[in-house]
Structure 1
Amino acid sequence: MSGEVVLSTRGLVKRFGGITATGNVDLDLRKGARHALIGPNGAGKTTLVNLLTGVLQPTAGRITLEGRDITGLAPHQRARRGMVRTFQVNQLFDRLTPLETLALTVAQHRGLGARWWRPLGADRAVAERCDMLLEQFHLTAVRDEPTQVLAYGKRRLLEIAIALACEPRVLLLDEPVAGVPAGEREELLRTVGSLPADVSVLLIEHDMDLVFSFATRMTVLVNGAVLTEGTPAEIARNAEVRAVYLGTERVHG
């Protein structure tokens, strides 16, 4: 494998009482990666993401971001260092429009948070960045609609646009197509597939069509531990992976 490691874990453990939710996980995310984390329900994927982002503190182990130990940092400190996450459930301001939401995000990221209420065109750089994101995420036609009336697929696109507005170096996509109706999925899949090449992406997803169309490397988590890691072709041929998913998920072959 080539490419500099931007995010890594070594011996990551999380115990809740007598239950080990994450067991000695070693994971490397390389620069520009399209890396998927998959596993059956209860495999520990969400726990691992919560550890990576600082929502949970590990029982043991270490997390590094661009060579710096971030194990003890709070979520907002990790975000400032370039790690941004989306969530399984939308966390949006229903009464704001996509334009207002992105203007607030971009202004805050650029240190203009105290002036976010100024007319949206007052800061040309903020307005231009918002226009770019609205176009990139197919939100221009609904830019002035309250978020609460948007189709669910558009809400998911807005959430990813917000994450990208923070100019992440590492982006954790937590089940981006969860709950999205079939008719809205294609646009979302195309947009995820066209994320900037310089952003390293870790995708946590149950949808195998998205995983195999997006990822160039995959890690399989089972019972909180890494079962195997490899290319999509290697994962698809792996007998242990097939056994884990038999009857619960379709692994492409």
Structure 2
Amino acid sequence: MSDVVLSCKGLVKRFGGITATNNVTLELKRGARHALIGPNGAGKTTLINLLTGVLEPTEGSITLEGRDITKLAPHLRVRSGMVRTFQINQLFASMTPLETLALVVSQHRGLGASIWKRLGADAAVTQRCTELLEQFRLAEVMNQRTEHLAYGKRRLLEIAIALACEPRVLLLDEPVAGVPAGEREELLQTVAALPADVSVLLIEHDMDLVFSFANRMTVLVNGTVLTEGDPDQIANDPEVKAVYLGHGEDAHA
């Protein structure tokens, strides 16, 4: 079994005369904690949209666990084990965390969308929801409408939804974006405690999170891979400091 779970080779995405992603090659290892960093406009979200099938590449290929998924529909990529979160919450405002997770777990297990209306009717669904609520520190707010949750809790719920789909590859798109300082620590600790068997690709501007979480980093600048390495290599790379970490960011040197 290969230790590479997700890879892309020579990915190019052009929008008219603009090249948003330029010959990007990246490998995500099994169990990885891999961060994708770079300045605004570097092409990070475009790359994630290519990996998840929201966009189709102009050139290049994407492989998930040895299978070419370059042209696979987004929902089929989810079924194949690759799930993402978004910069902006994609949640049902009028539903509670318990209802939301019961719906997702039920659908993922092929039980249909109606089972969540009879919460507790399926013991396995109930058990999985309880586990997720505890793991993501949502148990105390599980019966509150999502629209009334603190923003940090909403971000936790979004990651819990992703884990409810039992991914082998999880793409986290700026999980702490917009989260107030007082709520960040809970989120950071929860992200750090994600299951070891889930390979994670993290996009994030918060360098404290990146350097505490990642064991591998890829730096993207102007749609091109500038360099890749472990956290120490990236922190001490003069080019990275010049184009990114030195621009008002904590260099972590």
TM-score range, shorter chain: over 0.9
Aligned partner of 2:38 in structure 1 is 39
Aligned partner of 2:227 in structure 1 is 228
1:193 aligned partner, one-letter code: A
| Matches for 1:117-136 after TM superposition, within 5 Å | 117-136=116-135
Check whether the contact 2:87–2:173 (CA below 8 A) recurs between aligned residues: yes
Aligned partner of 1:94 in structure 2 is 93
- Name the stretch that deviates more: 111-120 or 188-197: 111-120
Offset, 1:52: 0.2
Aligned partner of 1:252 in structure 2 is 252
Aligned partner of 2:15 in structure 1 is 16
Deviations 1:11-35 (A, max 9, x none): 0000001110000000000000000
SS at match of 1:7: strand
Aligned partner of 1:187 in structure 2 is 186
Q: CA RMSD in A?
A: 0.8
Aligned partner of 2:79 in structure 1 is 80
Offset, 1:113: 1.4
- Name the stretch that deviates more: 98-107 or 110-119: 110-119
Offset, 1:119: 1.4
Deviations 1:127-174 (A, max 9, x none): 000000000000000000000000000000000000000000000000
Offset, 1:114: 4.2
Structure 1 runs (4+) deviating above 3 angstroms are none
2:157 aligned partner, one-letter code: L
| Matches for 1:29-68 after TM superposition, within 5 Å | 29-68=28-67
SS at match of 1:113: coil
The answer for unaligned runs of 5 or more in structure 1 is none
SS at match of 1:198: coil
1:74 aligned partner, one-letter code: A
Call closer, same or farther: CA 1:114–1:102 in 2, change over 3 Å. Answer: closer
Aligned partner of 1:176 in structure 2 is 175
| CA distance in structure 1 between the partners assigned to 2:56 and 2:113 by the alignment | 31
| CA distance in structure 1 between the partners assigned to 2:137 and 2:150 by the alignment | 12
Aligned partner of 1:204 in structure 2 is 203
Offset, 1:117: 4.2
| CA distance in structure 1 between the partners assigned to 2:162 and 2:218 by the alignment | 23
Aligned partner of 1:164 in structure 2 is 163
1:36 aligned partner, one-letter code: A
Aligned partner of 1:137 in structure 2 is 136
Check whether the contact 2:106–2:116 (CA below 8 A) recurs between aligned residues: no
In the superposition, the TM-score normalised over structure 1's length comes to 0.98
Check whether the contact 1:133–1:165 (CA below 8 A) recurs between aligned residues: yes
Check whether the contact 2:102–2:116 (CA below 8 A) recurs between aligned residues: no
2:23 aligned partner, one-letter code: N
SS at match of 2:36: strand
SS at match of 1:84: strand
| CA distance in structure 1 between the partners assigned to 2:147 and 2:192 by the alignment | 26
| CA distance in structure 2 between the partners assigned to 1:46 and 1:248 by the alignment | 21
Check whether the contact 1:40–1:248 (CA below 8 A) recurs between aligned residues: no
Offset, 1:51: 0.2
| CA distance in structure 1 between the partners assigned to 2:242 and 2:76 by the alignment | 40
| Matches for 1:148-159 after TM superposition, within 5 Å | 148-159=147-158
